[in-house]
Amino acid sequence: MTEKFTLEYAKTLDQADPLAHYRDEFCLIKDTIYLDGNSLGLLSKRSEQAVEDVMQAWKTRGIDGWTEGEQPWFYLPEKLGELMAPLVGAEPDEVIVTGSTTANLHQLLATFYEPENGKTKIVTDELSFPTDIYALQSQIALKGLDPEEHLIKVKSRDGHTLDEEDIIQAMTEQVAVVVLSGVQYRSGQVLDMEKLTKAAHGRNILIGFDLCHSIGSVPHDLSGWGTDFAFWCTYKHLNGGPGAAGALYVNKRHFGVQPGLSGWFGSDKTRQFDMEHEFVSAGHAGAFQMGTPNLLSMAPLSGSLEIFNEAGLPAVRKKSLELTGYMMDLIGHELAGYGFQVRNPADESRGGHLFIEHPEAARICRALKEERIIPDFRAPNGIRLAPVALYNTFEEVWQTVQKLKKIMDGETYKKFENKRGVVA
Question: What angle in degrees, to the nearest 10, is found between the helix axes of 313-334 and 394-410?
Answer: 30
HSE toward the beta carbon, residue 220, CA cutoff 13 A = 35
CB 390 within 8 A of CB 311: yes
By the 8 A CB rule, do 304 and 46 touch?
Answer: yes
Beta partners for residue 267, in sequence order: 281
* Rounded Cα–Cα distance for residues 395 and 68 (Å): 46
Name which of 50, 102, 136, 138 is nearest 246 in CA terms. 102
- What is the rounded distance in angstroms from the CA atom of residue 237 to the CA atom of residue 42? 9
Peptide bond into 18 cis (omega under 30): no
List the one residue out of 413, 318, 300 whose CA is nearest residue 360: 413
With residue 8 as reference, give the H or E element that holds it.
helix 7-15
d(C-alpha 241, C-alpha 244), whole Å: 5
Amino acid at 418: N
| Calpha distance 275→368 (Å, rounded) | 56
Continuous H helices in 113-237 = 130-142, 147-150, 164-169, 193-201, 222-225
Binding residues for pyridoxal 5'-phosphate: 101-102, 129-132, 210, 213, 235, 264, 292
Distance (Å, whole) CA 199 – CA 169: 10
The annotated binding site is made up of: 101-102, 129-132, 210, 213, 235, 264, 292
Helices (H) and strands (E) in the chain, counts: 13, 13
Amino acid at 246: G
**Burial state string for 94-115 with b = 16 or more CB within 10 A and e = fewer than 16:** bbbbbbbbbbbbbbbbbbbbeb
